[in-house]
Chain A
């Protein structure tokens, strides 16, 4: 009886977690538009997806933002980690705490505050440009979304790289200098290869975070929509099964990325 209850509890939990996703994936292959009856297996919604220009534009935007944000955040985060690692313990601890805060802040707070900052700066730019006589009216779009993504991706890189730096032999950098290597070259030839696993994990995490972000993107871009924003607005208009297909693809993409990240950290811990 106890065994049954325990099993039932786990089953219930998993059902709650995954049933919605399973239903969505099944419906994305349903030939009928109805949510209530099975009209046979079909790929038509996937076909429709790849002919819908709004969705293709959003896909392109999402990938561009995710790629550029990942590259920039990986560089910034890695350099920041190396810098903080070289600092005295007290200062380093303060900086790490400060960097940790954005990761725990609710997305909606991050989104609203970033939007406020962008709008405030744009207002300043407008007033100055009017004063000069060349009015410039900036708006929330690709650029601001990209900046926001870089901002929330960077701490993930920092926190992936830092443990690798801490594991590193303390004399490694000095050993490179000792053998005649100037400081910057020593970072490139010795430190970077040693911490590379952490850098790659950080980059993968960044890419995943950017790929499926909705809340922060929603607040920091009005003219350009990424995939999550398209799904959100489509769902408000009345849902079309091609949205199930799109959501299924995004779920799979993120799933694959997370599996890769987990496998990597598991391998790291073994070695």
Chain B
């Protein structure tokens, strides 16, 4: 998985805390100027992985290459990267200016240069005029901006962000997502971003790395992760899904829910047990007599943009998203186009969805 011209290469990273395995064989490369997001539920190891890159944890096994050189022995204060911490970690005994100047003063930059750089940074994070404020007089969103400025002002090659928007309300979070993405494109810096919010990951990233239980589940573009989840965990974690047990009869033909369906996947072998994933918006409700399956609508919820209906077919209850509503109790047919049927290998671990 390592790649020669990548900026960062993580090879075979293992890490345990006492008895619990936090990371179990991580291989990952990160390109220059990439916006890469480590996504997963809490406890999946994403923060540990970020802390290993930052130098705050060292792995039990594995290599961390930066521009081809192993930097595991380089202490955090000598690594060419900066971090935006989860709870900002601003220095409360310093004002905004001195917080941002902290790293620059350590580098012994001339005073005039420090001043111009801070001025530019405050412009970038839209906090001009706040130089003399103490950080505990700022709101959460403003503190977040200062934390980002304090990291970016050092012009790092890589910025590590550990759930930086986690403490902000939804509206502010959406605004900051856009701004962060714009900053990243404008400055041309590599961002390694940790979050448990799948929508955030899909909105901002060039590459999403889905993690669970210390392992990488899938690496890909947001679109690919969403459209082609590689296993039931990814399908379930990213958006909503109907996941059914099925059998791959032959290439491009699969049976599930008591019917046979054409699909576009091949190479699974004949009569192999598989998992079938279908997104709720890909399930089309048609007349009772023209569908591939027939069932009964059991509940209807209005969700704003669409209706969410549960349709009982045999012993499986399908989740269906549609802009047209079928009343509860009505009999409906279900059709799925081959392109929207995603076939995955059965996982060893259980996945009662």
CA distance A183 to B55 in the complex (A): 13
Say whether B353 faces chain A, with CB atoms less than 8 Å apart. Answer: no
The interface residues of chain B lying within 8 Å CB-to-CB of A181 are 77, 102, 106
Find out whether the CB atom of B107 lies under 8 angstroms from the CB atom of A180. yes
- Partner of A176 from B75, B86, B92, B102 at Cβ < 8 Å: B102
A190 interface residue, CB < 8 Å from B? yes
Contact, CB under 8 Å: A174 / B92: no
B93 touches A193 (CB 8 A): yes
A42 to B101, CA, bound (A): 61
Q: Which residue of chain A has its CB nearest to the CB of B101?
A: A179
- Contact yes or no, A194 B77, CB < 8 A: no
Q: Provided the pairs A174-B56, A174-B76 are in contact, do residues A179 and B87 lie with their beta carbons within 8 angstroms? A: no
* Bound Cα distance A7, B94 (Å): 50
B154→A180 contact, CB < 8 A? yes
* Residue in A closest to B79 when the chains form the complex, CB atoms: A178
Q: Is A171 touching B103 in the complex (CB atoms < 8 A)?
A: no
Known contacts A193-B93, A194-B93; decide if A178 and B82 are in contact (CB<8 Å).
yes
Closest-CB distance, B118 to chain A (whole angstroms):
14
Min C-beta distance of A165 to chain B, whole Å? 14
Q: Bound complex: CA of A193 vs CA of B56, how far in Å?
A: 22
Q: Does B150 contact A (CB under 8 A)?
A: yes
A211 → B minimal CB distance (Å): 30
Other-chain contact of A177, B75, B86, B91, B92 (Cβ < 8 Å): B75
Q: Chain B residues near A193 (CB, 8 Å)?
A: 91, 93
What CA separation (Å) do A185 and B107 show in the bound complex? 13
Are A190 and B91 in contact, CB atoms less than 8 angstroms apart?
Answer: yes
Distance in Å from the Cβ of A203 to the closest Cβ of chain B? 18
Asked whether A171 lies within 8 Å of B106 as measured between CB atoms, the reply is no
Q: Are B89 and A180 in contact (CB under 8 A)?
A: no
Asked whether any CB of chain A lies closer than 8 Å to the CB of B246, the reply is no
Q: Tell me which residues across on chain A come within 8 A of B103, comparing CB atoms.
A: 179-180
Contact call A178/B83, Cβ cutoff below 8 A: yes
Please tell me which one of the listed residues B77, B89, B151 contacts residue A172 in the complex, with CB atoms under 8 A apart: B89
Interface residues of B in 167-224 (CB under 8 A from A): none
Do B102 and A194 touch (CB < 8 A)?
Answer: no
B54 within 8 A of A: yes
Which A residues touch B29, using CB under 8 A? none
Q: Is the CB of A194 within 8 A of B107?
A: no
B86 touches A171 (CB 8 A): yes
> Would A182 and B77 count as touching, CB distance under 8 A?
yes
Q: Does B233 contact A (CB under 8 A)?
A: no
* A172 in contact with B91 (CB, 8 Å): yes
B85 within 8 A of A: yes
Contacts of B82 in A (CB 8 A): 178-179
Interface residue? A175 (CB, 8 A): yes
Minimum CB–CB distance from A80 to chain B (whole Å) comes to 22
**Of all chain A residues, which has the CB nearest B91?**
A190
A53 located at the interface, meaning its Cβ lies under 8 Å from any Cβ of chain B in the complex: no
Q: Assuming A178-B54, A178-B77, A179-B106, is B86 touching A194 (CB within 8 A)? A: no
Given contact pairs A181-B77, A190-B91, A194-B92, A174 touches B85 in the complex (Cβ within 8 A): yes
B83 x A180 contact (CB < 8 A): no
In the complex, what residue of chain B is closest to A271 when comparing beta carbons? B136
Residue of A nearest to B136 (CB): A271
Q: How long is the Cα–Cα vector from A142 to B11 in the complex, in angstroms?
A: 62
- B85 contacts which of A171, A182, A183, A194 (Cβ < 8 Å)? A171
In the assembly, what is the distance between CA of A175 and CA of B103, in Å?
A: 10
A105 at the interface (CB under 8 A from B): no
State in angstroms the CA–CA spacing of A175 and B54 once bound together.
10
Instruction: Kindly provide the distance from the CB of B216 to the nearest chain A CB, expressed in whole angstroms.
Output: 25
> Which of chain A's residues has its CB closest to B100's CB?
A179
Q: Which residues of A contact B107 (CB under 8 A)?
A: 180
Q: How far is the CA of A4 from the CA of B143 in the complex (A)?
A: 56
Q: Is A223 an interface residue (CB 8 A)?
A: no
Beta-carbon nearest neighbor of A194 in chain B: B93
Interface residue A269 (Cβ < 8 Å from any Cβ of B): no
Give Cα distance in the complex from A84 to B151, angstroms: 29
Question: Which of A175, A183, A186 makes the CB contact (< 8 A) with B83?
Answer: A175
Is the Cβ of A171 less than 8 Å from the Cβ of B87?
Answer: yes
Instruction: Report yes or no: B89 in contact with A177, Cβ–Cβ below 8 A.
Output: no
**B87-116 at interface with A (beta carbon < 8 Å):** 87-93, 102-103, 106-107
Least Cβ–Cβ distance between B194 and chain A, in angstroms? 13
Identify which of residues 39-91 in chain B touch chain A, using a CB-to-CB cut-off of 8 Å.
Answer: 54-56, 75-78, 82-83, 85-91
What are 13 residue pairs bridging A and B, where the CB atoms are less than 8 Å apart in the complex? A174-B56, A175-B83, A175-B85, A175-B91, A176-B91, A177-B55, A178-B82, A178-B151, A179-B154, A180-B106, A181-B102, A182-B75, A196-B93
Using a CB–CB distance below 8 Å, which chain B residues touch chain A?
A: 54-56, 75-78, 82-83, 85-93, 102-103, 106-107, 150-151, 154
Kindly list the 3 A-B residue pairs having the minimum CB-CB distance in the complex, ordered from nearest: A179-B103, A171-B89, A175-B89
Interface residues, chain A, CB within 8 Å of chain B?
169-172, 174-183, 185-186, 190, 193-194, 196
